[in-house]
């Protein structure tokens, strides 16, 4: 289980601008920023073809002044992907590989 952050977030900070699961289209969108001060979206990772989605809140107390960040990304087994942030752990079963898009 190797961490894939360096592959998916190469040249980008782990800080999250957008993390949205669109249940009707079965797509998870993750956008990360250039740095936590400027907060300009730099990379978008699209997880499409989601067969199953589950999330667990890691932190019970939210700090609205604290920006959420990716702390881990890895394949758990064939087609089962884990995305860990400071606040959540998301497990998704995917039909296709996640796609990375540059936003800058």
Q: Measure the CA–CA gap between 2 and 57, rounded to whole angstroms.
A: 23
Q: What percent of the chain has pLDDT over 70?
A: 91
Q: Is the predicted pLDDT of residue 6 greater than 60, yes or no?
A: yes
Q: pLDDT digits over 42-71, tens only?
A: 999 999 999 999 999 886 666 666 789 999
Q: Which phi and psi angles does 90 have, rounded to 5°?
A: -115, 130
- 75, 81 Cβ separation under 8 angstroms: yes
Q: Domain residue spans in the chain?
A: 5-102
């Amino acid at each position: 289980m190797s961490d894939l952050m360096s592959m998916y977030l190469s040249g980008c900070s782990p800080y999250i601008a957008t993390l949205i699961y669109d249940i009707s289209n079965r797509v998870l969108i993750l956008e990360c920023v250039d740095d936590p001060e400027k907060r300009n979206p730099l990379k978008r990772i699209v997880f499409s073809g989601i067969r199953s989605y589950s999330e667990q809140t890691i932190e019970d107390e939210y700090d609205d002044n604290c920006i959420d960040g990716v702390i881990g990304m890895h394949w758990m087994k064939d087609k089962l992907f884990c995305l860990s942030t400071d606040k959540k752990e998301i497990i998704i079963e995917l039909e296709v590989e996640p796609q990375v898009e540059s936003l800058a």
